[in-house]
Amino acid sequence: MGAGLAEVCARAGLDVLVAVSRPARIADGRRKLVGSLDHALRKGKITEADCDAALSRVSFTADLTDFADRQFVIEAGPERESVKLDVFTTLDKVVEDPDAILGSNTSSFPIIQLGRVTNRPGKVVGTHFFNPVTVLPLVELVGSVLTEEETVATAETFVTDVLGKQVVRTKDRSGFVVNALLIPYLLSAIRVYESGVATMTDIDKAMKLGCAHPMGPFELSDLIGLDIVQAISESLYGEYREPHYSPPPLLARMVSAGLLGKKSGRGFYDYP
């Protein structure tokens, strides 16, 4: 989702710096950005000049100290606690402006946990975008018990007026609004499949044709990433202890096998 976020910000005219985990990943990050901009160009959403201008506004780094001069940073790393806490600890040290806002695209981690490893918990806010970021208009804005109202208000203005998205404010509860509703549905689809009610493709077909969903639950899980679905499920289960949030065995086995969905080339479906 980081590439999508960078694209949306660059197309809004912002100077964007993208952090990748190691220098070898810079080429990959740029390739994703170029691929998505080309797609938008082919679909007639942007002109060639917009595409070139957006590309010229994005630079890449593998060194978080390069973020010293930033005013708004959005973390979009893997849904792993240790990674997120490290990134927030480092960002807090390197970002010089004490009023700069540190946002997180986390799907499920409590924002307070990210805030408390910084010296500016009042400036830490959840900014949860949806995949594909270039297409879906929603951003969930999540303030922790320590987030200042001014931070949430500034983030809301940024997301709506600058990025052109729409905001729903939510409390700092696992899954916020969308994932608290969406993830049990995706997990139920796996349980329905495992109990032999219908084939995977027919379950997808049923939800697309019967409920006008743009994707079926297996296609959507592959798009989100099965590791992410599992991580959110564990987080929801950890918070609420309700059985419908617990990850079904098939999901856990697929993640263990590295079958993570579209990003790994294979999940419930193959992506050659």
**CA 223, CA 140: separation in Å to the nearest integer?**
19
Question: Nearest distance from residue 158's CB to ligand CAA, in Å?
Answer: 19
Rounded to 5°, the CA angle 53-56-59 comes to 145
228 binds ligand CAA (CB under 6 A): yes
Instruction: Give the x-and-dash track for 41-80 against ligand CAA (CB under 6 A).
Output: --x-x-----------------------------------
CA-angle at 93, arms to 70 and 128, nearest 5°: 55
Residue 43 in marked binding region: yes
Strand residues in 109-204 grouped as ranges (E): 124-129, 138-143, 166-170
Interface with ligand CAA (CB under 6 A), residue from 6, 9, 17, 36: 36
Kindly report each contact of residues 46-51 with a partner whose C-beta sits within 8 Å and lies 24 or more positions away, as own/partner: 46/11, 50/11
Task: Count the Cβ atoms, other than its own, within 10 Å of residue 148.
Answer: 17
Closer CB to ligand CAA, residue 104 or residue 179?
A: 179
Nearer to ligand CAA, 151 or 235 (CB): 235
Rg value, the chain, Cα: 19
Q: Which is nearer to ligand CAA, 43 or 241 (CB)?
A: 43
Decide whether 51 or 95 has the Cβ nearer to ligand CAA.
51
Minimal distance in Å, beta carbon 200 to ligand CAA? 17
* Least Å from the CB of residue 45 to ligand CAA: 4
Active site residues: 107, 128, 140, 179
Considering only residues 115 through 174, tell me which ones interact with ligand CAA, judged by CB under 6 A. 130-132, 134-136
- Of 90 and 131, CB closest to ligand CAA: 131
Tell whether residue 107 is among the known ligand binding residues. Answer: yes
Instruction: Report the relative pairing of strands 138-143 and 124-129 from DSSP bridges.
Output: antiparallel
Is residue 154 within 8 Å of 170, Cβ to Cβ? no
Q: Which region among 16-24, 142-150, 184-192, 214-222 touches ligand CAA (by CB under 6 A)?
A: 214-222
What is the spatial distance between Cα 71 and Cα 54, in angstroms, rounded to a whole number? 19
Give the count of residues interacting with ligand CAA (CB under 6 A).
Answer: 19
**Which residue from 163, 171, 172 is spatially nearest to 130, judged by alpha carbons?**
163
Residue 186 DSSP one-character state:
H
Least distance (Å) from ligand CAA to the CB of residue 97? 28
Examine residue 272 and say whether the peptide bond preceding it is cis (omega within 30 degrees of 0).
Answer: no
Cα three-residue angle 145-147-152, rounded to 5 degrees: 125
Give the integer Cα–Cα distance in Å for 9 and 3: 10
- 82 known member of a binding site: no
What is the closest distance, in whole angstroms, from the C-beta atom of residue 220 to ligand CAA in the complex? 5
Q: Which residues are annotated as a binding site for CoA?
A: 36, 43, 107
Residues that bind ligand CAA (CB under 6 A): 36, 39-40, 43, 45, 107, 130-132, 134-136, 179, 182, 214-215, 220, 224, 228
